[in-house]
A and B are shown apart, each in its own frame.
Chain A
Amino acid sequence: MTRPRIALPGPGLLSGYDPTEFFCEMLSPRDDGAARLAAIAARLNALDPDDLRRRAARAEKELFDLGITFTVYSDKDAIDRILPFDVLPRVITPGEWTRLEAGIIQRVTAINLFLADLYGDQKILADKVVPADLVLGNANFHAFMRGMKVPCGTYSHVCGIDLIRDQEGLFRVLEDNARTPSGVSYVVENRNLMLQCFPDLMEGTRVRAVDDYGLMLRQALKEIAPAGVDEPSVVLLSPGIYNSAFFEHVFLAREMGVPLVEGRDLVVENDRVYMLTTAGRAPVHSIYRRIDDAFLDPRVFRPDSMLGVPGLMEAYRKGNVSLANAPGTGVADDKAVYAYMPRIIKYYLGEDAILANVETFICREAEGLKYTLDNLEHLVVKPVGESGGYGMILGPKATKSEIDEFRAKLKADPANYISQPMIGLSVSPTLTDKGTQPRHVDFRPFAVTGASTRVLAGGLTRVAMKEGSLVVNSSQGGGSKDTWVLAGEGQ
């Protein structure tokens, strides 16, 4: 299949570049912004490859010097790795963004209403829109949250929606991340790097800024603070420097201008939370926690947790401290619940989903299981509880024996799996050893909700650096790109 492409004025960086049958994030036309896309493509095309490579190397060195890294632990060493950064940006037009933004707000609103219902009257279960056992039997459903009123009715304060773009150029939701989605630090730092190393690329393109994320988040944390507190004290709770995402915790604390605390810095007394300072105890009102539910409070969750704060949940239940995200949001971003999301949106908002799901077969249902077993070689099958791309199989790319092995696993525990057709993810021109090549990308925008939902005008574009690979996860060799959301009229 050949599709229309934006024409380049002459030979250059993109000359040998061929996105084949896939939608191209640089050269495939959209409904708007044609002239601006063409101008950006022409500008990139005119770059000297050697110069670009030199500057890209400098950018990676800078990432390393700044410690914008995640940590990989081997048997004896802790190695700081940078997330490989590809200098060729991914561009989103104003019209595309308007629709994405509305779709994300709609989805996040529905997720929060869904959670409020599950931890309240459970009407959606009574109405049999979502099977009750799917929710009540879910390990991430926390019964102790039942009946508790959370500030602003918000449970998932920071939500990352994973999107992919199919061969027709339609954005589809692949996954919701309603717990503690990470990656926003790379959105902002990639932009900083771009501005520093490639100012000439950005000049005059009118790309929307992403550096207000910290202020957005801090504002939301103020909005959800316990009632009656004028100047709420906000902190970020991290598991500490050995966590692989510690850089992001540092980044967020710095951007919000709040202390980065660990569990051992906090104490609870009379159901109130305090941090231990040089001057003694200081009250804490809102906590952006980057510790998983299971480790938050050894009195309620895992008793062996060294990272948490004994008594934190009781203080939370009494309304003396606010937590973002709320415990128990994992029930909403479960991969099995995901399949019901269009119906969930319809149920609470009376609207059709603006952003489509990827077609999904639920293996806990007989029909879905049969279809999946019959079509394994065409499907992507994922365990519902895993993240990071682990435990899944890409049917079209697997060997016969891999498929047979997986079939046994699936039959043994069908409720643990969903399946989806293999999507031909869109590609973006990427600098490789073999010149400028198409590489598959996805997209994770971030929504922040306090009293209302705001979406950061940008997001994390992850890129599978290996030729032909569809796996974009950083733990499996993925990199990232700067994402340019072009400003519309008056923005």
Chain B
Amino acid sequence: MSELLARNADCIVWLARYMERAENLARILGVAETFARDRAGRNWLAVVQINADEERFFARHREADARTVPHFYILDPDNPNSILSSVKSARENARTLRPMISIEMWRQINRMNSWMTGLSPNAVAPANLAALCEEIKEACQLHVGITEGTFYRDQAHYFYHLGKSVERADQTTRLLDIKYHTLLPRPEDVGSALDISHWNALLKAVAGYQASRRVMAGKITPRSVAAFLLFSDSFPRSVILCVRQMDWLLSQLRTRYHLRGGVKALELLDELRAALTDQTIDQVIDLGLHEFIDWVQRQLMLIFAEIQESFCVSRQPR
């Protein structure tokens, strides 16, 4: 089976995106939990803000707190951005893809979905939240590991990683943004011990703590952390690394599999890469970190839309 159905390519990029999204949301909730512990629960709102979910959230809850936000983002079946919804969507896509993914991949996603569906509201209670986020993250990582070890390396594999890289870049920018939102109301905290510990928590949430210690030689500043998450050439969740990965994957699809589309996506990727390599972190922060992150997120959306337009379109029934 050398051809890849356009519809299946779409399912693959979404499968990868949803699983990556679930993992990152678990990371974000994990770090928000750490922040909230220190700040009398005031920071749950930030999670809602970075996901631009204010409208949907406040239609359902009056208060963004330690009960409502984790429930909304983990277990709420009516929130399309909840981890439960992401895992369900991942499973639906995997279901379509069953003839081409390994039985082990399917089985694990199917089991994860059954497990998540059976969770009681108590599972997201404050006392259990950290452990649950950890478990979700590990289930997602199990998916990644099984995929690495069993997914046949043809076109489909490249599309899988394209979806994953887009989502990861997007989520890393959101994680960085959470710190921006958290800091905003309390400028007096900047540089304080509390502030540093938050940046550390954030680095731990993206599993970048050890690496950042090594590169930054002990100087943890907001600037160095932002630079690390945006520009690091070696950190697997940095935005530039994801962008480089996407560029490579798209080029491979064009050369190895002779796919003709994707020129516009490559141009957009070039532009994004330039923005990430031609500026220093000082320049970015002076112009506004939040604005920059917003622009990066919009570029990623355009690139993803181009990829779908080029490779993933099937005939619409009348």
Contact with A along B73-110 (1 / 0, CB 8 A): 00000000000000000001001101110010011001
B7, B9, B103 — most chain A CB neighbours (10 Å): B7
A264 engages B95 (CB within 8 Å): no
- A447 CB–B CB distance under 8 Å: no
CB contact list, A62-112 vs B, under 8 A: 64-67
- A277 CB–B CB distance under 8 Å: yes
A253 engages B99 (CB within 8 Å): yes
B99, B106, B114, B159 — most chain A CB neighbours (10 Å): B99
B4 engages A278 (CB within 8 Å): yes
Measured CB to CB, the nearest residue on chain B to A260 is: B99
Known: A66-B106, A259-B99. A275 touches B3 (CB 8 A): yes
B106 engages A306 (CB within 8 Å): no
A277 to B258, CA, bound (A): 12
Cβ of A246: which chain B residues have Cβ within 8 Å of it? 95
- A257 CB–B CB distance under 8 Å: yes
Cβ of A260: which chain B residues have Cβ within 8 Å of it? 99
A67 to B316, CA, bound (A): 28
Which listed residue (B96, B99, B313) contacts A254, Cβ 8 A?
B99
A276 engages B114 (CB within 8 Å): no
B98 engages A250 (CB within 8 Å): yes
Contact with A along B138-164 (1 / 0, CB 8 A): 000000000000000001000100000
Measured CB to CB, the nearest residue on chain B to A307 is: B317
A66 to B243, CA, bound (A): 35
Cβ of A277: which chain B residues have Cβ within 8 Å of it? 3-6
Interface residues on A, range: 20 to 34
Contact with A along B1-41 (1 / 0, CB 8 A): 10111111100000000000000000000000000000000
B13 to chain A, nearest CB (A): 11
A276 engages B317 (CB within 8 Å): no
B3 engages A264 (CB within 8 Å): no
A262, A263, A277 — most chain B CB neighbours (10 Å): A277
A386 to chain B, nearest CB (A): 29
A279 to B262, CA, bound (A): 11
Contact with A along B248-266 (1 / 0, CB 8 A): 0000010001111100000
Known: A276-B7, A277-B4. A265 touches B107 (CB 8 A): no
Interface residues on B, range: 35 or more
B6 engages A278 (CB within 8 Å): yes
B114 engages A250 (CB within 8 Å): no
A306 to B314, CA, bound (A): 14
A264 engages B99 (CB within 8 Å): no
Which listed residue (A253, A258, A265) contacts B314, Cβ 8 A?
A265
Measured CB to CB, the nearest residue on chain A to B98 is: A250
B265 to chain A, nearest CB (A): 13
B96 engages A241 (CB within 8 Å): yes
Measured CB to CB, the nearest residue on chain A to B103 is: A66
- A267 CB–B CB distance under 8 Å: yes
Known: A66-B110, A67-B106, A265-B5. A276 touches B96 (CB 8 A): no
Cβ of A280: which chain B residues have Cβ within 8 Å of it? 260
- B311 CB–A CB distance under 8 Å: yes
Which listed residue (B98, B253, B317) contacts A263, Cβ 8 A?
B317
CB contact list, A267-290 vs B, under 8 A: 267, 275-280, 282
Cβ of B6: which chain A residues have Cβ within 8 Å of it? 265, 276-278
Measured CB to CB, the nearest residue on chain B to A262 is: B7
A264 to B11, CA, bound (A): 14
- B315 CB–A CB distance under 8 Å: yes
Cβ of A263: which chain B residues have Cβ within 8 Å of it? 317
Cβ of A253: which chain B residues have Cβ within 8 Å of it? 99
Cβ of A307: which chain B residues have Cβ within 8 Å of it? 317
- A266 CB–B CB distance under 8 Å: yes
B115 to chain A, nearest CB (A): 11
- B223 CB–A CB distance under 8 Å: no
Cβ of A65: which chain B residues have Cβ within 8 Å of it? 107, 110-111, 114
- B312 CB–A CB distance under 8 Å: yes
Known: A64-B114, A67-B95, A263-B317. A282 touches B3 (CB 8 A): yes
Known: A263-B317, A264-B315, A264-B317. A279 touches B98 (CB 8 A): no
A9 to B3, CA, bound (A): 58
Cβ of B155: which chain A residues have Cβ within 8 Å of it? 278
- A261 CB–B CB distance under 8 Å: yes
B315 engages A254 (CB within 8 Å): no
Cβ of A261: which chain B residues have Cβ within 8 Å of it? 5
CB contact list, B168-188 vs A, under 8 A: none
Cβ of A279: which chain B residues have Cβ within 8 Å of it? 3-4, 257-260
Which listed residue (B107, B313, B317) contacts A306, Cβ 8 A?
B317
A64 to B107, CA, bound (A): 9
A314 to chain B, nearest CB (A): 17
Known: A241-B95, A264-B317, A267-B315. A278 touches B111 (CB 8 A): no
A306 to chain B, nearest CB (A): 4
Measured CB to CB, the nearest residue on chain B to A309 is: B315
A254 to B314, CA, bound (A): 21
Known: A276-B6, A278-B259, A279-B258. A264 touches B316 (CB 8 A): yes
Cβ of B106: which chain A residues have Cβ within 8 Å of it? 66-67
Measured CB to CB, the nearest residue on chain A to B92 is: A241
Measured CB to CB, the nearest residue on chain A to B113 is: A67
A31 to chain B, nearest CB (A): 40
Cβ of B99: which chain A residues have Cβ within 8 Å of it? 250, 253-254, 259-260
B284 to chain A, nearest CB (A): 36
Cβ of B114: which chain A residues have Cβ within 8 Å of it? 64-65
Contact with B along A229-273 (1 / 0, CB 8 A): 000000000000100001000100110011111111111000000
Measured CB to CB, the nearest residue on chain B to A235 is: B5
B1 engages A258 (CB within 8 Å): yes
A265 to B107, CA, bound (A): 26
A275 to B317, CA, bound (A): 14
Cβ of A66: which chain B residues have Cβ within 8 Å of it? 103, 106-107, 110
Which listed residue (B7, B100, B110, B312) contacts A67, Cβ 8 A?
B110
A280 to B259, CA, bound (A): 8
A277 to B99, CA, bound (A): 16
Measured CB to CB, the nearest residue on chain B to A192 is: B103
Which listed residue (A241, A257, A278, A306) contacts B311, Cβ 8 A?
A278
B257 engages A276 (CB within 8 Å): no
Contact with B along A46-62 (1 / 0, CB 8 A): 00000000000000000
- Seen from chain A, the residues whose Cβ lies within 8 Å of a Cβ on chain B are 64-67, 241, 246, 250, 253-254, 257-267, 275-280, 282, 306-307
Please list 23 pairs of residues, one from A and one from B, whose beta carbons are closer than 8 Å in the complex, sorted by A's number: A65-B110, A65-B111, A66-B106, A66-B110, A67-B106, A67-B110, A241-B96, A250-B98, A258-B1, A259-B99, A263-B317, A265-B5, A267-B315, A275-B3, A276-B314, A277-B4, A278-B9, A278-B155, A278-B257, A279-B3, A279-B4, A279-B257, A307-B317
When A and B form their complex, which 9 residue pairs have the shortest distance between CB atoms, in order from nearest? A253-B99, A250-B98, A306-B317, A277-B3, A254-B99, A278-B311, A282-B3, A276-B6, A264-B314
Given contacts A276-B313, A279-B257, 8 further A-B contacts (CB under 8 A): A67-B110, A250-B99, A264-B314, A275-B3, A276-B7, A277-B3, A278-B3, A306-B317
